[in-house]
């Protein structure tokens, strides 16, 4: 997995500390960070193809200083079409390349390393968060007429019959379900990032590396929505449902985050557990031939570019990548919920474990997070010495 975060703790010790910013690239498989340039005042990180993501320092630096694709100078005719009225309305054709925030790109073994896991609710806040998520899932299943059972309820029933009775979803039903859920899933990260940003401004204190991870999560969820949107244009009724749900959920989550950020991160952790279950079932159906409409369907271009999929990628590859993203959110949010949200450093600000860990472990405890930050710090110091030696 490539994941290229850049803040680092300024001094060794426990979780509570400030940050400096550096440029880092990762070497796939090794899970080791490799310093690739001098210190910058902002985030200058590059990603590479998952098929060849062992960046050399030189390559990494080259990518670091190159402009993003959308910033490159284009010919006058191209420029004209981009600013003309005809071109301006067609964003999907204009937006090309990776101009998104940092996000994991997975190796084939990482994609298969995801397990369906549940974190046991331990205290009142956990139980409240988990209860709310289960309630929301039950209501959503009921309203959408979905009845999941492990294996077909009637082995002799045809796919059509199973779909009619709600035991299997058709491709269109899967899409509707995914589109609605993804439109909601992009809310918590943005709310949490907004509130932490405002708190930092208001109290004039540093944030300890939480904001950008939360923004990345929000964007990652939005990219899921943008990906599936290429397969279906939602009706006005569907859009109205999303509008209403967003209005209610955004404000509720905003208020709840003001009261208890920890319970909110736990809530998102449980929500992501459900997302992992949903996509795992989707993968199982797809691999068993129960969504024949998607079995040979090519992956949308936006997905190929975002997750660096191979050119012949199919929908199955996309769903695997999305499920891995949800697993990242599950791990990150359950881990953040174990921290002191006011004082502790975000352990994933500098680097993030690969999917072999996140897929089989539901969280980092606070002690593990502390150790992880210390290890990141040691790696950073080691690479800093390496850089000084080479310069």
Is residue 358 close enough to count as binding Fe ion by CB under 5 A? no
Q: Which is nearer to Fe ion, 57 or 256 (CB)?
A: 256
Given the rule CB under 5 A, which of 129-137, 164-172, 185-193, 284-292 is the region that contacts Fe ion? Answer: 185-193
Is residue 265 close enough to count as binding Fe ion by CB under 5 A? no
Residue 21 CA to residue 19 CA, distance in Å, equals 7
- Residue 388 C-beta: closest distance to Fe ion, Å: 41
276-335: which residues touch Fe ion (CB under 5 A)?
326, 329
Given the rule CB under 5 A, which of 27-35, 106-114, 184-192, 285-293 is the region that contacts Fe ion? Answer: 184-192
Given the rule CB under 5 A, which of 102-110, 177-185, 189-197, 298-306 is the region that contacts Fe ion? Answer: 177-185
Distances (CA, A) of 115 to 64, 110, 195, 326, 328: 34, 11, 32, 11, 12
Is residue 275 close enough to count as binding Fe ion by CB under 5 A? yes
Is residue 221 close enough to count as binding Fe ion by CB under 5 A? yes
Tokens for 329, please give them: 């959110």
Is residue 185 close enough to count as binding Fe ion by CB under 5 A? yes
**DSSP labels, 88-147:** HT-HHHH--S--S----B--HHHHT------PPP-SHHHHHHHHHHHHHHHHHHHHHT--
Given the rule CB under 5 A, which of 100-108, 128-136, 264-272, 383-391 is the region that contacts Fe ion? Answer: 264-272
Give the CA diameter of the chain: 70
Number of amino acids touching Fe ion (CB under 5 A)? 8
Is residue 207 close enough to count as binding Fe ion by CB under 5 A? no
Among 103, 222, 224, 266, which residue sits at the site for Fe ion (rule: CB under 5 A)? 224
Helices and strands (H, E) in the chain, number of each type = 16, 4
Is residue 17 close enough to count as binding Fe ion by CB under 5 A? no
Q: Quick one: 235 exposed, middle or buried, by C-beta within 10 A (0-12, 13-18, 19+)?
A: exposed
User: Which residue is nearest to Fe ion, using beta carbons?
Assistant: 224
CB atoms within 10 A of CB 379: 18
Is residue 8 close enough to count as binding Fe ion by CB under 5 A? no
Strand partners, 9: 19
Name the residues that contact Fe ion, by CB under 5 A: 182, 185, 221, 224, 272, 275, 326, 329
């Amino acid at each position: 997995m490539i994941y290229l975060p850049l803040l680092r703790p300024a001094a060794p010790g426990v979780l509570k500390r400030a940050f400096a910013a550096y440029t880092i690239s990762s070497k796939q498989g090794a899970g080791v960070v490799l310093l690739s340039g001098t210190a910058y005042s902002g985030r200058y990180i590059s990603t590479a193809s998952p098929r060849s993501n062992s960046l050399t320092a030189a390559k990494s630096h080259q990518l670091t200083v190159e402009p993003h694709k959308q910033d490159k100078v284009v010919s006058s005719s191209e420029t004209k079409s981009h600013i003309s009225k005809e071109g301006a309305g067609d964003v999907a054709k204009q937006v090309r390349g990776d101009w998104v925030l940092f996000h994991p790109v997975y190796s084939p073994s990482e994609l298969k390393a995801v397990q369906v896991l549940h974190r046991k609710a331990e205290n009142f806040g956990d139980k409240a968060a988990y209860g709310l998520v289960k309630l929301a899932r039950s209501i959503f299943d009921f309203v959408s007429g979905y009845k999941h059972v492990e294996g077909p309820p009637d082995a002799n029933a045809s796919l059509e019959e199973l779909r009619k009775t709600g035991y299997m979803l058709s491709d269109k039903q899967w899409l509707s379900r995914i589109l609605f859920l993804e439109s909601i899933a992009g809310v918590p990260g943005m709310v949490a990032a907004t509130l932490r940003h405002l708190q930092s401004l208001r109290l004039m204190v540093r944030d300890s590396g939480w904001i950008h991870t939360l923004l990345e999560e929000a964007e990652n969820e939005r990219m899921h929505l943008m990906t599936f949107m290429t397969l279906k244009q939602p009706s006005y009724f569907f859009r109205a449902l999303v509008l209403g749900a967003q209005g209610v959920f955004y404000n509720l989550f905003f208020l709840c985050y003001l009261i208890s950020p920890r319970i909110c991160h736990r809530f998102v952790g449980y929500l992501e557990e459900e997302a992992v279950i949903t996509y795992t079932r989707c993968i199982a159906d797809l691999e068993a031939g129960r969504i024949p409409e998607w079995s040979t369907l090519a992956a949308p271009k936006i997905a190929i570019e975002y997750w660096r999929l191979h050119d012949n990628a199919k929908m199955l590859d996309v769903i695997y990548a999305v499920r891995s993203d949800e697993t990242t959110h599950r791990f990150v949010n359950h881990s953040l919920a174990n921290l002191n949200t006011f004082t502790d450093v975000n352990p994933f600000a500098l680097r993030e474990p690969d999917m072999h860990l996140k897929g089989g472990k539901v969280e980092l405890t606070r002690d593990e997070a502390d150790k992880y930050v210390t290890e990141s710090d040691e790696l950073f110091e080691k690479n800093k010495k390496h850089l000084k030696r080479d310069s």
